[in-house]
Chains A and B, each alone.
Chain A
Amino acid sequence: MQEILSALAEPNRLQIVELLRRKPLAVGEIVERLGLRQPQVSKHLRVLSEAGLVEVRPVGQQRIYRIRAQALKELDTWLDPYRRTWDERFDQLDDVLRDLKEKDKGKRNGRRK
């Protein structure tokens, strides 16, 4: 997990992952979209690949990079307890909001009488 997080800590690498989440891309396309030099992009891709975040597949002459779903799943699992803490808190807030709206309605109806 720490390897995935470290790999994503670099802003350009995070951006590459964001790009690849939309669709698989060739190195040249990533270079174009990020406006970085090819050696830099290749270096970032190597780090991402070593962390298991991306995988490469040759298609014809090109090397196409894509996200490894398994890595994103790991990240999701890591975030899950934190997300549940907020989800539980907000479920309780939902109840409070429902009460506030009920009271508000009561007040409005009271005025109408």
Chain B
Amino acid sequence: MAAASESKTKVTLPSDREILITREFDAPRDVVFKAMTDPGLISRWWGPRGHTTRVDKMEVRPGGAWRYISGTSAADETAFRGEYREIKAPERIVQTFEWEPMAGHISVDTATLTERDGRTLLTVRALFSSKEDRDGMVQSGMEKGLAETHDRFAELLAELRAETRSGAR
């Protein structure tokens, strides 16, 4: 597990209803913007590692809907959805975000891309309707971390079982 200080992504809480996420990329911003708005590319990076992510809907225009389905198998698939509010290539994307199992808890995410010396600073400001929603979102990250731990535990069990079998042979 990487220590917090090794993370290239910065997460801060600038107010009680916001989360601010910052990351620098080694690419000009038109390239970063393309990767964020091209349905063919989203599936390659948006979902958690080990998950398959499909784009169900992605109408990149103000008022357009987006919906991604993500999971390790059909059994644990869940969907994320929202609406685009503002698209200003290649510098700004405003969209709502909602996780379908927790429908109704909606954040407005503003992504801002600034370029310097061929590198892009991406900031995502997620604004929630209440502090409880904000904290709930961070907490769900915790649950995901926990789920990953369980996955690793299951893998470990599988390995142990395999070893036991080969040992028995």
Contact = CB atoms under 8 A, between A and B. Distances in A.
Interface of A: 5, 8-11, 14, 75-98, 100-101, 104
Given A89-B45, A94-B25, 12 more contacts: A8-B13, A14-B15, A78-B138, A79-B13, A80-B145, A81-B142, A83-B11, A85-B144, A85-B145, A88-B48, A89-B47, A100-B35
A75 B8 CA distance: 18
Given A92-B49, A96-B45, A87 B7 contact: yes
Given A97-B32, A100-B34, A83 B4 contact: yes
Nearest to A76: B4
A81 B137 CA distance: 11
Given A9-B131, A92-B49, A96-B45, A84 B7 contact: yes
Contacts of B124: 86
- Interface centre among B7, B47, B124, B137, by most A CB within 10 Å? B7
Interface band, chain B:
35 or more
- In the A-B complex, list the 3 residue pairs whose CB atoms are closest, starting with the nearest: A82-B141, A81-B145, A92-B45
Interface of B: 2, 4, 7-11, 13, 15-16, 19, 21, 23, 25-27, 31-32, 34-35, 41, 44-49, 122, 124, 131, 135, 137-138, 141-142, 144-146
Contact of A82 (B26, B44, B142): B142
Given A9-B16, A14-B16, A97 B138 contact: no
Given A86-B9, A88-B48, A90-B23, A80 B31 contact: no
Contacts of A9: 16, 131
